[in-house]
Every structure is written in structure tokens, then in C-alpha cells.
A and B are shown apart, each in its own frame.
Chain A
Amino acid sequence: MELLKNIFSPLTQIKGRTSIILIVVEAFLALLLWEIVGQNGLIPVPSKILTSVVSIVTSAYFVDNLFSSLALTFTGMGISIVLALLVSYLSLIPVFAPVAKFIVKCRYLTLTGLIFLFTLLTQDGHQLKLSLLIFGIVPFFVTSLLAIIEAINVQEYELCKTLRMNNWQTLWEVVIIGRLDQVFEVMRQNFAIAWMMITMVEGLSMSEGGLGTMLIKSNKYIDLSTVFGILVIIFALGIFFDFLLRNLRHWLFPYTKIQVKK
């Protein structure tokens, strides 16, 4: 009874187990509702999607496509974070600040208009996909990283001064290693953007396959249960990597766990 009252009153702290039960129950109810209501509709019902997920995962071409997408995502993410970190750290040196500001604004450029240019500039489909992905992610990375740097308390810089560090040591201590855990968090949060873009750029050059290619092909044949099956796989993988990155962060930077508890 107490529990029932609690889950309906605002600003109530609920315990870990209760919140997991809530998630499971609500997800189950939603799926059940979908299954019942959707019987005669256009959208395939959960049981059908599940069957197609199983058949996709067990099909011969799935692993190749999956690895193609993962490889592209990780390469893209890796290069993007290095570029974004470089730009963000350099932004602290006045000469480079305008460049960083411009890159941040590039979030508002739409990729579609630039595809032709990128096609001319790159040599093959792989390069095209990779460069579009990087061009798409870097502005978001830089935006988040600059926000982190912006949020640093001046007192931390002052502390460095009283400890007689020079500007380079201060940059290292406060901005670089002092914020590495947050860089990791930015990567986790922006992984979603990369993962979302991957299916889009894969559609531009289908020769290498990938989850995005699978998605587009099934769309063409109006094979909706396969489309939804692929979507579910993409969704599940995204959640899985999010979970992985979060735990990796706690493991690499033990002090981030303390902040979470507070």
C-alpha cells in the first residue's frame, strides 16, 4: 500500500529494486498492449518482430554486417574524439579559439547538402562514410567538451597557482586529466548520435554492407517485420554500449562512483 502511494507521489525517492520492477512491469504492459491492439494493424506485433530478430541474428550475413557497422562506428568515434579533444584543448590558446567557435556552430550545417562535396573529396565509399560520420559528430563533441571546460571553477586554476604550477601544468592537471572522466561521459552521451548517424551514412554507400544497408534494403521490399527487427537490434546494441561505457567509466575513474552516490 505504502509502495503504491509512493510511486504516484512526486519527488519521492524509490529504491533500486522498486525502480527496476517498475521498468519491467511497464515495458511488459506496453508490449502486451501493442501485441493485442496491433493484431490487424500495419505495424508488426512484438511476437512477430521477435521472430524476425531471431532469424536476422541467426542468418549468415548478419555478423558481417554487424561488424561492418561497429567497425565504422568505433573508427569514426575514435578519430572524432581525438579531433574534438585537440580542438577543445587548443581553444584555450587564444589564437585557436575562433576555430573552436566555428566548429561548434557547424552543428547547424546539414550533412545532406555536403554529401556531393564529400563524394568528390573522398576516394571510396568507406572514406566517404567515415568522413561524413566524423564531420557529423565532431561539432557535437566539441560543444560538450567546451561546456565542460567552461564549467571549471576558477578556484581550481587559483589552487594551481598557489601550488606554483605554470600554465602548462595547470592545463594538464585541471583541464586534461582532471576532466578525463567527463570526456568519457561525453563520449557515452554522443555515442548515441554516432550510432544514429551510422545507419544514415551506410545508406550512401552500400557496398560494404552494415546494419544501415540491411535496413534500407528491407525498407525497399516493405518487409516491415525485418525493419522492426533490425531497429530492435540497433536499439539493443546502443543500450548495451551505453551500459558498457558507463561501467568502464566507473572502473577507470573510481571517484566518479562517489559523485553518483551523493
Chain B
Amino acid sequence: MTSYSKNEVLIAVKDVNLSYDKQILRDINFTIHNIVRPGMNQGQVISLIGRSGIGKTQLFKILAGLIPPNTGTVLVGLEQQPVKAGQVGIVAQNYILFNHRTVYDNLRLAMKHDSITLGDKEKDALINDYAAKFDLTEHLKKYPMQLSGGQRQRASIIQQVLTGNKFILLDEPFSGLDALMIDRVMELLLQVSTLDELNTLVIVSHDVENSLAISDTAFILARQKDQEGATITETLDLIEMGFAWNPAIRENEKFQHLVAQIKHKI
């Protein structure tokens, strides 16, 4: 068993409710702690798992501060301030980038805001560094339309990392990718999560197997019997179970058993 501890609260979701014409989300409560492992920058990878139409995207937008919940709050950061749009990075399902700018310019745009004080040369170096790490060097001069889905996704993730966001939400990061690309994305996400001690990735997905394989904590979003609206019905501590930080875990029999169980529940 690897030694680790769960320290400060990084994200706290308290009593979040959302309804339109009917209730979508009900009493959503969860916290994400800073996981500390000696000798390394261990970030956090959390997944919110639920089937299509359950309200994941709505929860996603609430976490990002893009839509306010009817009641409840989302607190982020060590200071636990209410979330404001822009504090949390988003990698949308269709990997939105600015189509009128090259990949390089898209990445450059991420570092344009005031809280980044690097000079031009340092920014360039940083972009080249990430591009090399994530296999985008030869695509920097291309336009987003010229990239494959996987490349767009990587560019999109790097863009959010470069912004300086420690918290990054990913909407269905595994959908539309083949098995090989899914492995690549997992590697990439694990890499991003260990770039900084506070880096926290929140994956919103219906893909039970891949989401669990990459996460240290998973929340199951589902509807309870005779109740309107989805809520967190289960929390899985994958570190305790011995399934965290090891993408090869998908071959493990016990893990597969867990996946089957969860699939049944959502």
C-alpha cells in the first residue's frame, strides 16, 4: 500500500439543487481533498459517473461557475471561495478551440491574461515544452480543423493547463476515441495531474471502466427510488481499494467486478 494522506479541502460542493421544469439535481454534496504523497506532486483525479441524461452536464456547468444552482454553493481553492467562471478550466466534449487561430496561437491566448507575468520567450518555451511532451510539436502551425479528435483534445487540455488553472473539468474525455487513444489520454491526464501538487482533474463521464481506472475518487450520480432528481448515491475511494494510479488496473479481476457492479447501479 502506497503511503498518502488526504489534507486540505480543495473543492466543496454543498447542498446543490437544480431544477428547470422538474428537478434535475438534488442535494449534491461532496468534497475533494488534496492528496499528498511523499516525494512527488500528486494531484487529484476525480470522476463523476452517471448515465446519459442524468444531469452531468448541468453539474459540470455548476462546478465551472457557468450556471448558478437554485440553492447551494460550490467552494474552490485553498481559500474556499465561491466559484467564479474562469477559475475552473473546462475541456468540453467536442474540444472547442478557436478555429481562426493556429494551435500555437490558441495556446498563446491561454497565457494572455494578467496573472501570468512571463515574457514572450518564456511563454514560447513553455508552449514548445508542452507540445513536445504531448506530441503536438509538428501540429503547432496547423489550424484546429486540421487536427484529429485526439490531437484537438490534447491541445484543449494543454490550453487549460497553460491558463494556470489548477482545477480542470473534462466532459466525457473518452467518448469518440479508440482504445489506443483512450490509453494515451489516460497517460496524458495522469501526467497533468502530477504536474502540480494542487492540480485537480474532474472527469464527468458515463464510461465507468475508464473513469474508474484513472481516478482516485469516484462519485456515482444516479436517481434514487421514488425521488426526483439525481444525487450522489455512492462514493468510491479507489486509493483505499488499491485501484488508484495504475491504468493497467483494467485487467485486474477485482476491478472488473467493481466496474460490473457500478454499471448495474447507474
Contact = CB atoms under 8 A, between A and B. Distances in A.
A106 to B, nearest CB: 31
A61 interface: no
Interface in A176-221: 177-178, 180-181
B92 A159 contact: yes
A153 interface: yes
Interface stretch (A35-43, A44-52, A253-261): A253-261
Interface in B128-176: 143, 145-146, 159-160, 163, 165
Interface stretch (A90-98, A160-168, A233-241): A160-168
Interface string A243-260: 000000000011100110
Nearest to A173: B98
A253 B100 contact: yes
A158 B66 contact: yes
Interface band, chain A: 20 to 34
B92 A158 contact: yes
A255 B100 contact: yes
B260 interface: no
Given A161-B85, A162-B86, A155 B92 contact: yes
A163 B96 contact: no
A262 interface: yes
Contacts of A153: 96
B21 to A, nearest CB: 20
Interface residues of B, number: 26
Contacts of B96: 153, 155-156, 158-159
Contacts of A165: 112-113
B90 interface: yes
Contact of B90 (A158, A164, A177, A254): A158
A75 to B, nearest CB: 29
Contacts of A255: 99-100, 143, 145
Contacts of A164: 86, 113, 115, 163
A179 to B, nearest CB: 8
Given A155-B94, A258-B145, A258-B146, A162 B89 contact: yes
A210 B262 CA distance: 77
A174 B97 CA distance: 11
Q: Which of A156, A158, A163, A165 has the most C-beta atoms of chain B within 10 angstroms of its own C-beta?
A: A163
A178 B86 contact: no
Contacts of A174: 98
Nearest to B98: A178
Nearest to A169: B112
Interface in A111-155: 153, 155
A162 B160 contact: yes
Nearest to B61: A158
A215 to B, nearest CB: 41
A17 B77 CA distance: 61
B109 interface: yes
A35 B112 CA distance: 65
A251 to B, nearest CB: 15
A184 to B, nearest CB: 12
A259 B145 contact: yes
Given A255-B143, A258-B143, A262-B145, A162 B99 contact: no
A148 to B, nearest CB: 13
Contacts of B92: 155, 158-159
In the A-B complex, list the 5 residue pairs whose CB atoms are closest, starting with the nearest: A164-B113, A255-B143, A161-B85, A258-B145, A155-B96
Interface of B: 64, 66, 85-86, 88-90, 92, 94, 96-100, 109-110, 112-113, 115, 143, 145-146, 159-160, 163, 165
14 contacts: A153-B96, A155-B92, A158-B85, A161-B86, A162-B88, A162-B89, A162-B90, A163-B112, A164-B113, A173-B109, A178-B99, A255-B99, A255-B100, A259-B145
Interface of A: 153, 155-156, 158-159, 161-165, 173-174, 177-178, 180-181, 253-255, 258-259, 262
